[in-house]
Amino acid sequence: MNSVLPHRRPVYLAASVALLATVAGGISTAVDSPLGPQISAAAGAAEGVEAISFPSPDEYFSALAKSTNPRWRKWYREIEQQPPTERSKIAAGLGMLVAEAHLSSMARDEQRLRNICGEIAAFAKVLGLSETAATHLAAVEAAATRGSWPEAQLALEQLLSGFAGKLLEQRDGDLARLAQIGLWMRVLQVGAGVVQEGHVKDLSLAVGGEGMPQRVALIASGLSERSRETEDVAFMLRQCDKICRVWSAEKFQSGREFTMEEVSDCHERLTGIIAHLSKR
């Protein structure tokens, strides 16, 4: 059986829909990108909001928790103390930090969440996003103090949507896309790891179910040629393409069961992507 994640909260659609809309008009040229036919297969998603919606990270993590008993703290990674020098890596790192905040909220770890909020503020400052960060991070921390974890998760979603909106206003579309990509690379890396070690019947949860890798790939297809040619982004695109080919719509629709070897391969590729995007 292949999972279908729940319908998405409207607030989380804002950033994803805006980013996808910016690539929809140029999708014919995007098909020539390193993601090739995988982008072509996802191009129809630009037709409507529901087709291109994403789950929130906590919806995805909650779907995993229904299938196994994840030890969320096992999947913590060391928090970067200083932003990197390259703006593209700062943006990707910002998305990964928001993923870490979601992971901490799943673990009900208030102190770690506060520490990550501090790092998010530092990364956001470099990109001119301090005002946006301050408003939403205050809401995240206040909710965590009250123990209202769903409220904290919702504030995290609003935070990333706010970042994307501001970056698009600043004509920094590539940075907005990289923040979204960083978020999902890290979220899916945790998910694939949980599936790899747990007793999860539906292995497709490793990639968030049918179509998830292609949706992330569609956002990546909107990156400028200059960004796509950088070493680390080019590596990410190649690995995403390979993940999309293994977890393709055709394979989902064929009813073929995925294998643990494919889950392990996916986790390894996602781990490599994060290492490249975090490299200083």
Q: Is 35 in a helix, a strand, or coil?
A: coil
* Residue from 216, 210, 269 nearest 243 by CA: 269
What is the distance, to the nearest Å, from the Cα of residue 230 to the centroid of all Cα atoms in its chain? 20
Q: How confident is the model at residue 29 (pLDDT cuts 50, 70, 90)?
A: very low
**176-223 pLDDT, tens digit each:** 999 999 999 999 999 999 999 878 889 999 999 999 999 999 999 899
Residue 253 clears pLDDT 70, i.e. is over it: yes
Instruction: Render pLDDT for 122-156 as a digit per residue (tens, 0 to 9).
Output: 999 999 999 999 999 999 999 999 999 999 999 99
Higher-pLDDT residue of 116 and 83 is 116
Q: What is the pLDDT of residue 2?
A: 56
pLDDT value at residue 38: 37
Could you give the CA distance from residue 92 to residue 181 in angstroms, rounded to a whole number? 7
Residue 25 scores a pLDDT above 50: no
Q: Mean pLDDT over residues 91-97, rounded?
A: 96
